[in-house]
Amino acid sequence: MRRSAKIMIAGMAASLVLAGCGTDDPDGPDTDPGTDPGTSEVKVGLAYDVGGRGDQSFNDAAAAGLDRAIADFGVDSTESSAIDGEPESAREERLIQLADAGFNPVIGVGFAYAGAVAKVAPQFPDTQFGLIDSTDAMGDNIANLVFPEHEGSFLVGAAAALKSETGKIGFIGGVNVPLIAKFEAGYAAGALAVNPDIEIESTYLTQPPDFSGFGDPAKGRTAAEGQFDAGADVVYHAAGGSGLGVFQAADTAGGLAIGVDSDQYHTVPSELQDVILTSMLKQVDVAVYDYIKSFIDGSPLSGEVVFGLEAGGVDYSTSGGLVDDIADQLDEFKRQIIAGEITVPDSM
Amino acid sequence: MSTPTHEVPRDETVTRSRFSWGWLLIGIAGVILALGALRTVTGADDVASAGTMGAAVRAAMPIALAGLGGLWAERAGVVNIGLEGMMILGTFGAGFAGYQWGPWAALAFAVFMGTVGGLIHAIATVGFGVDHIVSGVAVNIIGLGAAQYLAALTFTGKPGGGPTQSPPVERMPTFDIPGLSWAGRELAQTDLVFLTDAGAVLAGLTTRVSLLTVIGLACIVGTWLLLWHTSFGLRVRACGENPQSAETLGVNVYLYKYSAVLASGAMAGLGGAFLVDDASVYRDGQTGGRGYIGLAAMIFGNWRPGGLVAGAGLFGYTDALRLRRGGESVHALLLLIGVGLIALAVWWLWKRKVAQAGVTAAFGVGLVVLHLATDSVPSDFTGMTPFIATLLVLGLASQRLRMPKADGQRYRRGEAG
């Protein structure tokens, strides 16, 4: 690396440290005072699920967390991405390659890596594995970074019921897997908490092992049109890239739609922003960042780590202002869930 | 297959074209009547709604265009399982040109990219005599890899884009067909058994029609005219039936095969453009096997444009049905298929084919019982609907299929002797 670039990165890192109020120990990660303060010995390996960096959704959130870690700690990193329809062995191979090459920690982004992590982690006891969205692989060197998606979905379900004029709302899941059923269960519970008579239409775009339902906007649009035609006026999607079709259908039908994972008000084309009531935020970036930070701090997270409502791991978004008038009610629900007064079911 | 070759196809063509319009109208009326009756009996409103029909057309178009690509190649004697790869190239082309220069550029560039895929296949199979399946598989792999590589190269860092997704692409304009769309919607409001459903179907087919759909339909009609009503088409088909005879009559078989396979790639590319236009974005893996399904639709349609449209339509309709309120609609469809199978069994019994009648009746009764015993079909099964429906019809109709005689065979000039 050239000196000027080094200085620039050091400066960037320093300014981030100064600007960010969370980091109170800027010298922590550096062992050798001779090098610039922005680099670290840590090499992070990140294995994305299908879609990879740039999917404007789940994987991009993980990438954002990694980017923050690179900026703050100067970690070295490599990224690799799953291909649609690849066999299980390809995921194992990917993790083995990363671990073999000395990357530590290795992070599997998405529940699809559970089987691979369960198999590979015992072979590399000195490597730390982070697994997002799954507790199916447990071990001393595995951290299960999970989110109570059902609790976040409860809030947007309540928002949908509060905003619905027809008494009918919709849910579109990308692929019929337990993780997505968790979204549906929370959504339904939230809607029923507001209006016990509400009707909920539910559609899954594909069945496993066909995971194309997370990346086929045409399917999302057809399914959402069906629900709007059937009288629904708010539709929540947990369908990754297919969600764009849901927003288009909402635009045509004059209805509202709810985004997922990131604040989709900021990711959709501007002419579709009007239809986005809110988004169920899932801070995958926070999980990735915190996990890398814990490793650098010398006490890597392990076991099940829940990024919940209280910590802001899941939440609802307010961009666009459509939920401003019901924010009080939603925050009251949020308080009750955190306080344990409401228990949200996590399966249908 | 081994009957004298010249008489059979010609006779088939003549008898079919004489009856086609009448049968077509009767068939459409019959389908609408059946769906209307089904809607009335089961209360599943979505089986004949305008929304379903509109979605069915959008789902069927890319499949029909891929099938049309297959038709061009196979009528000239080249098996084309590389349609999927050509379609993927088309989606990339549409995404790349579409976000920068608008929908017409997307269309042109998708056709261009598809044609490039066709050219690879043509050079390998026609030029070098490579096995058609091997070359087709290679085109699929090349198409997928090239599109993913180029997408990562060109879309990364663009606003709204990423390595697996293009920035938003502007859509082709849509329009309502004046008169028909209005009449359909008015009819759908009435409460008359047949007319309500006919109105809903009409409204679905004529409301918010994409210009690209019109272009696709023009390609289908144009292919039919070109291949069956011009001397150019006759020569193309001669290359697929008996290239040696064509050669002795002075036809440049290589030229015709090349043109047909290029046209094949162009059609598949157009299908890719349709997918991108529908989603208004390019995404990795967007084709989802539609190239293969298009090939199946073409075989389903007995290597003829009318038949492949019917096959694509069936697939598109069932796909739309299960994606919209799947559980309820597919449950209703069980009854229709069950009753249809029982009717077929009766017909076979009348024809004294007892074995077929028995098997068909057993399936029919089974489906009806399943319908009566359940309230809806679980979503684990609704996803299979298009495939099962296609398999079923293919199974019942496959006895009559006849592929071009020299399809898939290697041709070398001067071997006619």
Q: How many domains does chain B have?
A: 1
Residues of B whose CB is below 8 A from A52 = 162-164
**Domain annotation covers residue B342:** no
Q: Do domains A42-147+284-306 and A149-282+318-339 have the same CATH topology?
A: yes
DSSP A279: E
Q: Mean pLDDT, chain B, as a whole number? A: 86
User: pLDDT band at B203, cuts 50/70/90?
Assistant: confident
Tell me the CA end-to-end span of chain A in Å, nearest whole number: 53
**Domain annotation covers residue B67:** yes
Domain limits, chain A: 1-39, 42-147+284-306, 149-282+318-339
Average pLDDT over residues B374-391: 81
pLDDT for A5 equals 52
> At B250, which CATH number?
1.10.3470
User: What is the CATH number that goes with domain A149-282+318-339?
Assistant: 3.40.50.2300
Full residue range of the structural domain in which residue B185 is found:
25-325
Q: What is the pLDDT of residues B74-121, one digit of tens each?
A: 999 999 999 999 999 999 999 999 999 999 999 999 999 999 999 999
Q: Per-residue pLDDT for A297 more than 60?
A: yes
Report the C-alpha gap between B312 and B309 in whole angstroms.
Answer: 5
Residues of B whose CB is below 8 A from A55 = 162, 164-165
Q: What is the pLDDT of residues A250-296, one digit of tens each?
A: 999 999 999 998 888 988 888 889 999 999 999 999 999 999 999 99
CATH superfamily of A42-147+284-306: Response regulator (3.40.50.2300)
Structural element, H or E, at residue B175: strand B174-175
Q: Judge whether B271 is closer than 8 Å to chain A, CB to CB.
A: no
Average pLDDT over residues A86-95: 88
Q: Give A272: exposed, middle or buried? Use CB within 10 Å, 0-12, 13-18, 19+.
A: buried
Q: Do B323 and A226 touch (CB under 8 A)?
A: yes
**C-alpha separations of A60 from A174, A299, A323, B149 in Å:** 17, 26, 25, 19
Of the partner residues A205, A227, A248, the one whose CB lies closest to the CB of residue B280: A248
Return all residues near A173 (Cβ < 8 A) that are at least 6 apart.
A180, A181, A183, A184, A202, A203, A204, A205, A213, A237, A238, A239
Q: Which residues pair with A155 in a beta bridge?
A: none
Q: Do A216 and B324 touch (CB under 8 A)?
A: no
Question: Which residues 183-242 of A are in CB contact (within 8 Å) with B?
Answer: 201, 203-207, 210, 212, 215-219, 221-223, 225-227, 229-230, 241
Q: Do A244 and B285 touch (CB under 8 A)?
A: no
Q: What is the pLDDT of residues B281-308, one digit of tens each?
A: 898 888 888 899 999 899 888 899 988 9
pLDDT for A25 equals 36
Global pTM reads 0.81
Of the partner residues A176, A219, A241, the one whose CB lies closest to the CB of residue B380: A176
**Spatial CA neighbour of A134 closest among A107, A154, A159, A169:** A107
Distance from CA of A224 to the nearest CA of B (A): 7
Q: Classify the C-alpha dihedral B222-B228-B234-B240 as positive or negative.
A: positive
